[in-house]
Chain A
């Protein structure tokens, strides 16, 4: 088992417009990307559970050209609206860091 924080090159979040949040996990090379992909851990169900959204609301993309996985989810509070904690959405990645990938 390996935690994402130990094997990923990039793990980041950002707004994709004010109403959505997009989260990227990027690996070093095609070999590691394929090993991670084969585990099927990174997928809509994981993001739905970590971010408390419906799996159907997760737009999940495997992006082999960038050795990356991307999930886009609705923001519960639009950027800058009452009670928002993260206008840029740049610090919502942390729950992924400790996810174990059986590679």
Chain B
């Protein structure tokens, strides 16, 4: 039976993988090689600011091995969600690295660069035409929210990858992509049906995460018309029917229904069978075609931040910590107002580790059981100057506010650092998380070609 083999190097470009695993994978003569470049998981900062999630050095190391492997074996290499968030600065950072690698190694190839940043006017036109829907637990979109966004990306499906390969590109670097799309696109272009193609993509986008022991490593998937086979390339790892089945739980609202651009992958009736002690066959997946939608992701600037870290070992303070923090807040409000900053201009967030620093108000344990508490104080304001000023006055009051029964008259807190206050990068929030109905899956994602 006709088969199509796909090789993934790791969960995210720049996470690293053993070189031996890549070589073992290439020795199996895959039809393509790829890696997912990103996720929304590290939060809105990366999309908002244009910064890459992983370092240039780590991405270059992974890319250099992959580009050399792809050129040597004359197979395509595809990278989705370049640089983390897949916006223009993230994509260009990866494009520049690939050009640099090609220059240094004397490699030549046709490269496609697929853009995913969306023009605000286009998004607003979609909104006006009723083609925009909010995803679960997200407010409806309006023009003002679109205008406030620092950056909006569209999440492409497999079609732009297929077009770039049709045009003869060997290296395909894409902006924001549905994680499985680069692989699904390659497999479907080779005439494989959508269901196993998408399923293979869902496995490959996380590298060897579905194997045991878990680790950042390479995974080989073989797609056939009636199912897929997956196998880790590192001899220390193995896929088991259970490890593969449970991968469907990862970062999905449902293990059975996976919404993708243009349809839904239904894994309700999948069978997982061991084909060896390290390879697993998955069959029974279904693809249900739906009207084509592109997910939009946008982030907006909320404010500028400063933070400090401190801790107390004082049992009297710990016993009355709520009153103590309320007193600190009152003093901050008075002092900040006195230097011209009313409370509506800033937010002071105090996370109390040892009480509810991890779960916040959802923490079910009310009693404090530890002998020390840690605090992370964060001031958020419209300017860095105000954030710094509010944080500084909060730090002073954490140290010196009096409380009933206080014995530690020289200071309430241990500050581990000098300077104690640190400016943080600005705070962004995800403000756009909606779908846009489109007629042409390629239209929102222009492709540029370059001979390197």
Q: Which of A17, A59, A70, A72 has the most CB of B within 10 A?
A: A17
B252 on the A face (CB < 8 A): yes
The B293-342 residues at the A interface (CB cut-off 8 A) are 302
The answer to whether A78 touches B254, judged by C-beta atoms less than 8 angstroms apart, is no
CB distance from A15 to the nearest CB of B (A): 6
Chain A 41-83 per-residue mask, 1 if CB under 8 angstroms from chain B, else 0: 0000000001110000001010101111010101111111111
Residues of B within 8 Å of A70, CB to CB, are 249, 254-255
The answer to whether B250 touches A14, judged by C-beta atoms less than 8 angstroms apart, is yes
B343 on the A face (CB < 8 A): no
Instruction: Give Cα A18–Cα B433 distance, bound, in whole angstroms.
Output: 9
Q: Are A85 and B359 CB-contacts (below 8 A) given A20-B253, A63-B248?
A: yes
A38 on the B face (CB < 8 A): no
Instruction: Give Cα A95–Cα B365 distance, bound, in whole angstroms.
Output: 9
**Of B36-44, B97-105, B221-229, the one touching chain A:** B36-44
Residues of A within 8 Å of B250, CB to CB, are 14
The answer to whether A79 touches B430, judged by C-beta atoms less than 8 angstroms apart, is yes
Instruction: Give Cα A72–Cα B249 distance, bound, in whole angstroms.
Output: 10
B405 on the A face (CB < 8 A): no
Instruction: Give Cα A86–Cα B43 distance, bound, in whole angstroms.
Output: 10
Residue of A nearest to B364 (CB): A95
The B353-369 residues at the A interface (CB cut-off 8 A) are 356-362, 364
The answer to whether B251 touches A15, judged by C-beta atoms less than 8 angstroms apart, is yes
Residues of B within 8 Å of A10, CB to CB, are 246
Chain B 8-48 per-residue mask, 1 if CB under 8 angstroms from chain A, else 0: 00000000000000000000000000000000111111000
CB distance from B249 to the nearest CB of A (A): 5
The answer to whether A19 touches B252, judged by C-beta atoms less than 8 angstroms apart, is no
Residues of B within 8 Å of A22, CB to CB, are 249, 251-253
CB distance from B419 to the nearest CB of A (A): 24
Q: Are A17 and B45 CB-contacts (below 8 A) given A22-B251, A65-B245, A68-B249?
A: no
The answer to whether B43 touches A18, judged by C-beta atoms less than 8 angstroms apart, is yes
CB distance from B376 to the nearest CB of A (A): 10
A39 on the B face (CB < 8 A): no
The answer to whether A68 touches B255, judged by C-beta atoms less than 8 angstroms apart, is yes
A103 on the B face (CB < 8 A): no
A36 on the B face (CB < 8 A): no
Instruction: Give Cα A9–Cα B242 distance, bound, in whole angstroms.
Output: 12
The answer to whether A85 touches B360, judged by C-beta atoms less than 8 angstroms apart, is yes
B418 on the A face (CB < 8 A): no
CB distance from A19 to the nearest CB of B (A): 4
Residues of B within 8 Å of A88, CB to CB, are 41-42
Q: Are A19 and B251 CB-contacts (below 8 A) given A75-B137, A79-B44, A82-B302?
A: no
The A15-29 residues at the B interface (CB cut-off 8 A) are 15-20, 22, 24, 26
The answer to whether B135 touches A87, judged by C-beta atoms less than 8 angstroms apart, is no
CB distance from B394 to the nearest CB of A (A): 15
The B201-260 residues at the A interface (CB cut-off 8 A) are 242, 245-246, 248-256
Q: Which of B135, B246, B349 has the most CB of A within 10 A?
A: B246
Q: Which of A65, A68, A81, A94 has the most CB of B within 10 A?
A: A65
Q: Are A61 and B254 CB-contacts (below 8 A) given A83-B360, A85-B357?
A: yes
B272 on the A face (CB < 8 A): yes
Q: Are A74 and B248 CB-contacts (below 8 A) given A79-B430, A87-B42?
A: no
Task: Please pick, from A51, A66, A78, the residue contacting B249 in the complex, using a CB distance under 8 A.
Answer: A66
Q: Which of A24, A83, A92 has the most CB of B within 10 A?
A: A83
Residue of A nearest to B430 (CB): A18
The answer to whether B254 touches A81, judged by C-beta atoms less than 8 angstroms apart, is no
Instruction: Give Cα A80–Cα B53 distance, bound, in whole angstroms.
Output: 14
Q: Are A67 and B242 CB-contacts (below 8 A) given A22-B251, A76-B362, A94-B359?
A: yes
18 new A-B contacts, CB < 8 A, other than A78-B429, A87-B43, are: A14-B251, A16-B253, A17-B433, A19-B430, A20-B137, A22-B251, A66-B246, A78-B44, A80-B429, A83-B347, A83-B360, A85-B357, A85-B359, A86-B358, A87-B42, A92-B359, A92-B362, A95-B364
Query: 5 A-B contacts, Cβ less than 8 Å apart?
Result: A10-B246, A19-B138, A70-B249, A70-B254, A72-B253
- Top-5 shortest CB links A-B: A80-B43, A74-B137, A72-B253, A66-B245, A66-B246
